[in-house]
Amino acid sequence: MTAVTPVRYPDLRSEKLMTRRAWWLVVLNVLIPGSAQVLAGNRRLGRFALGTDLVFWAIGILLIAGLLVARSTVVTIVTNPIVLWIVVAALVFYAVLWIVCTLDTLRLVRFVRVNRVAGSIAALFSIAALVITGGGALYGAWNAGVTAGVVGTVFGDGDIADPVDGRYNILLLGGDAGADRVGLRPDSISLVSIDAATGQTTIIGIPRNLENVPFPKTSPMAEQFPDGWSCADCLINALYTYGEEHPDLYPKAKSQGSSPGIEATSDGVEAVTGLTVQYYAMIDMNGFSQLIDALGGIDIDVKTRLPIGGGQDYDGNPTGVKKWIEVGPQHMDGNTALWYARSRHADDDYHRMARQREVQQALLKQFTPANVLTKFQAVAQAGGNIVETDIPQPMLGKFVDLADLSRKQKITDLELVPPQVETWDPDYDEIHQMVADVTKVASASPSPNG
């Protein structure tokens, strides 16, 4: 043994020294992978591992700093599928390197020279630390891979839209998918209008039976229907079907991540509200319950007792009901929330619209960072299965910021239903004024924190 390097050249005859040395090597390997090799083993491996540690620490520090000062930019970068797959490879590599360093550290310990009890504890400590650290890296790689798959599937590479009059307007459609249908058929129509500076959000509910819908002058639908969508069965939710049946009206729709039906509906909604629609998001209501379950359910204060299952008899009374959604505060799973949002047996379409808005707002409250992170895989997979959108990946950072701001404020609702709006003979100039008033008031309202 030398007095200079007892860790590299220990006195093998001293059990006390070897035990102390074992703990030093094990703890250093956990804290700084590669340090044990630099002190007592293969210096080339150790220096490589230490260099890797420094790179990962530097990236982590830059990431934290970036989230504090430019979160939108950082989110945009780290949600890029290419970047995510690089993260997957890097985390897998780091996990393998950690495993190699840990196994080599256990070799360097020389357990036959160490106190048996202390050596057993040190070995168990190393294995537990390896499971936590290496397993954590592999779990992170798995989540990054899931995210890359979802982002690549759901979000496209479309154009980045600037806010119009200081607002982002997203057409939100709820639809039913089925084996006998092409794509999704809109069952609910809303326009989500977001103040680009404050995140203040207004949701404009548009009844599916709205009639005499006009079109912007630049719309292909205006050429087909110069007097508006005013035939006998021309309700606004039929625009989707008409667009899908006449794809020549919107020949570039699919290449832009949309569809002719979506574009026709979007043109109608623009003319109805007087707002410019930048993007759309369509949710498959049949898969909607999966997302709610993935987030752990939602909380709603039920105002009207509603049936789950069954139908109506000739007198309009519920029949064959499996169970009831009772009045009062309720924590709902996905299936219950879906019935709550879609039930038509106890009241009318307009009340159903109000319930859908309640579900949307309750769901938004569940999208907290902590909730999403703890249930990430289920949320990501459920979201990827039920959402279609033309929101481009580069816009994710901006919308994540706006969603966070929106959660801290009260969402404003505007329902274009009787008695405010006569759906069979609407005054669209009056509707435009209503929309302008509510978005102006929403934008002017101070946030709870400011």
For the chain, the structural domain boundaries read: 15-154, 161-279+396-450
- Selection from 202, 201, 207, 222 nearest residue 271 by Cα: 222
In order along its 450 residues, the chain shows pLDDT tens digits of 344 467 788 878 888 889 999 999 999 999 999 999 999 989 999 999 999 999 999 999 999 999 888 888 888 888 889 999 999 999 999 999 999 999 999 999 988 888 999 989 999 999 999 999 999 999 999 989 988 888 888 887 777 889 999 999 999 988 765 544 544 567 789 999 999 999 999 999 999 889 999 999 999 999 999 999 988 778 998 999 999 999 999 999 988 889 999 999 999 999 999 999 999 988 877 777 888 998 899 999 999 888 887 777 666 677 778 888 999 999 999 999 988 988 876 667 788 888 888 888 788 778 776 777 677 777 777 777 778 889 888 898 888 888 888 878 888 889 999 889 999 999 999 999 999 999 986 666 554 444
Helix and strand element counts for the chain (H, E): 16, 12
**Bridge partners of 175?**
186, 284
Q: What is the pLDDT of residue 443?
A: 61
Tokens of 355: 């319930």
Q: Strands 167-177, 184-195: parallel, antiparallel or unpaired by DSSP?
A: antiparallel
Domain 161-279+396-450 is found in CATH 3.50.50.60: no
Q: What is the pLDDT of residue 444?
A: 61
Reported for 353-360, long-range contacts at CB under 8 A and 24+ positions apart, including other chains, are 353/188, 353/205, 353/207, 353/415, 353/417, 354/205, 354/415, 356/174, 356/188, 356/190, 356/205, 357/190, 357/203, 357/205, 357/413, 357/415, 358/300, 359/298, 359/300, 360/172, 360/190, 360/203
pTM, rounded to two decimals: 0.77
